Amino acid sequence: MMQTIPITRADTPLRFDDRPVPKRVGLVVLATDHTSEPDFRRMVAGEAVGVYTARIAYANPTTPENLRRMQPRLEEGAALILPDEDLDVVVYSCTSASVVMGDEVVEQAIRNAKPGVPVLTPPSAARLGLKAFGAKRIAVLTPYTEETARPMAAYFAGHGLDIARFTYLGLDDDRVMARLTPDSLVQAAVEAMPADAEALFVSCTALRSALVARRIEEAIGRPVVTSNQATAWAALRLCGDDHPRPEFGRLMTLGLPVGA
């Protein structure tokens, strides 16, 4: 015979906070992404800032055509993050797709789901980071093939940056990019940095470059901006968090540039 268990509704007065976590960062990542979520856990998430993620469909290889195919999925992905609730900022975590689609296209798609929210893409955050350093002549390192790297070079040149050297590694699968060892990234970054560049941008959210940004800076003697580091930095600053995190590179000790 089943025991009848008494169940009682509590009379305790209940109080509620406006939010479980004061600040909310939405993170839209590719279905194949291995790196963005761990990076944002390390650099962004905490007692005052929550990171809430949605994944959208994506299939390799990493070509401009495949990257553009994500555009119709952006709005749906953003809408899945805490539906009908406000976010403080949304990050679309794909550098090359943001370049080939255009920052404005990405921003509009996300704002269709989350009206009025600040939107960050890795290239737009990287430009903010380079501006914070006052860097105008830069080097760029990407893991992509030449086909995917060329729009990246045109993007930064089109935003007024002088590219001293642009280096690509010839990879076309973001899952493979994520497996590049930290030591390999440091070596590639050192080799990609010419003497006359003021800063290095390491592109691609799949790379674990945020973990070695400080090591690269020590090796080249100049500032380093990486895709995930830049979006994490800008997201924190937009949430009002100015706490320095020098273990992730000099950028994480700076404020947003004036007018950002």
198, two tokens? 């003021």
| Cα–Cα dist 58/215, whole Å | 32
List, for residues 125-158, the tens digit of each pLDDT value: 999 999 999 999 999 999 999 999 999 999 999 9
List, for residues 87-122, the tens digit of each pLDDT value: 999 999 999 999 999 999 999 999 999 999 999 999
Average pLDDT over residues 47-63: 95
CA dihedral 246, 252, 255, 257 (to 10 degrees): 130
Nearest-CA neighbor of 204 among 185, 183, 184? 185
Please say whether the dihedral angle defined by the alpha carbons of residues 97, 28, 22 and 244, taken in this order, is positive or negative. negative
- Work out the pLDDT band at 258, boundaries 50, 70, 90: confident
User: 202 with 190: CB under 8 angstroms?
Assistant: no
| Cα–Cα dist 231/237, whole Å | 10
List, for residues 218-242, the tens digit of each pLDDT value: 999 999 999 999 999 999 999 999 9
Place of tokens 């940004």: 213
pLDDT of residue 260 exceeding 80? no
